[in-house]
Amino acid sequence: MSGDRHSRERKPSRRMSKREALVRLRRMKQAFSRYIGKNFGHLAADCAVCPTPCCADAQFVNINITQIEAEAMIETLRESPRHGEDKLREVVARAEAAIAHFGLTETGDTFEKTYACPLYERGVGCLVHWKAKPAPCIQHGCYEHWEDLPETGTMHRIEAQVEQLDEAVHERPARWMTIPVWLTKVMKDNDGR
Ligand code: SF4
Ligand code: SF4
């Protein structure tokens, strides 16, 4: 599972509140998820019975996200009746361990390093599956025939919209960094609130 976007200069977007951006982001991801599920899901292997889940594969995951996506993940865990604050602390501890173990950084080519995702739990799957999953994770699946793979244009459009939301909230060019790095950074800054 991989991402391939890098930070770039962009014309500043209209200022937006974090609340509005989080709502838009969630709707955007859910719509994309429905699109992939409806048009390609039936052709992909069933992740629920996968013996070697890719999210736990430290040689495979190089997903990078923006700050607003980390904030959405934190909010999703925090507000979940099933998970909540304790689970969030567990995830952040795993994120810190991943940073140390896999040598993840804020600088350099952050797409070069791979890591086991701290949001994955065996028997549960992705802890932010429906509300805050990165677009490349929604896109990714295992297909028997390469011609069944989803087209990538929609995912790239979604990522461009994610960048715009991030920039509108934080008023600076979006930065793409790994999930563990952004989760710990946002939590250190005002406890992710
Ligand atoms: S995408 Fe493929 S490797 Fe990853 S969990 Fe699903 S079936 Fe397994
Ligand atoms: S965010 Fe979710 S789907 Fe993506 S790598 Fe992490 S656990 Fe897997």
Q: Which domain holds residue 92?
A: 18-31+52-143+150-192
Shortest-distance atom of ligand 2 to CA 61: 5
Rounded distance between C-alpha atoms, residue 162 and residue 183, angstroms: 17
152-182 pLDDT, tens digit per residue, is 999 999 999 999 999 999 999 999 999 999 9
Handedness of CA 88, 93, 99, 102 (dihedral sign): negative
Residue 130 lies in a domain: yes
Q: For residue 122, tell me if it sits in a domain.
A: yes
Contact 131, 29 (CB under 8 A): yes
Ligand 1 atom nearest 50 alpha carbon: 8
Q: How distant, in Å, are the alpha carbons of 13, 140, 162 from that of 168?
A: 5, 27, 10
| pLDDT for 192 | 67
Whether residue 43 lies inside any domain: the answer is no
As a whole number of angstroms, the distance between CA 63 and CA 73 comes to 14
Q: Please report whether residue 11 resides in a domain.
A: no
Structural domain includes residue 36: no
Name the residue type at position 24: R
In a domain, residue 128? The reply is: yes
For the segment 92-121, what is each residue's pLDDT rounded down to a tens digit? Answer: 999 999 999 999 999 999 999 999 999 999
Question: What percent of the chain has pLDDT above 90?
Answer: 89
Query: For residue 20, what are the contacts with CB-CB under 8 A and spacing of at least 6?
Result: none
Residue 160's pLDDT is: 97
Ligand 2 pocket list (CB less than 6 A): 1, 55, 61, 63, 117, 119-120, 126, 133-134, 137
Ligand 1 atom closest to 47 (CA)? 6
Q: How far is the CA of 12 from the centre of ligand 2 (A)?
A: 29
As a three-state string, the secondary structure of 127-140 is CCCCCCCCHHHHHC
Mean pLDDT on 137-150 = 96
**Residue 113 maps to a domain:** yes
Q: How far is the CA of 46 from the centre of ligand 1 (A)?
A: 7
Instruction: Find the 119 Cα to ligand 2 centroid distance in Å.
Output: 6
**Separation between Cα atoms, residue 22 and residue 5, nearest integer Å:** 21
Band the pLDDT of 4: cuts 50, 70, 90: low
Number of domains in the chain: 1
Q: How confident is the model at residue 2 (pLDDT cuts 50, 70, 90)?
A: low
- Is residue 136 domain-resident? yes
Higher per-residue confidence, 42 vs 11: 42
In the reported structure, the alpha carbon of residue 47 is separated from the centroid of ligand 1 by a whole-number distance in angstroms of 5
C-alpha span between 72 and 19 (Å, rounded): 10
Angle between helices 84-102 and 67-79 (to 10 degrees): 140
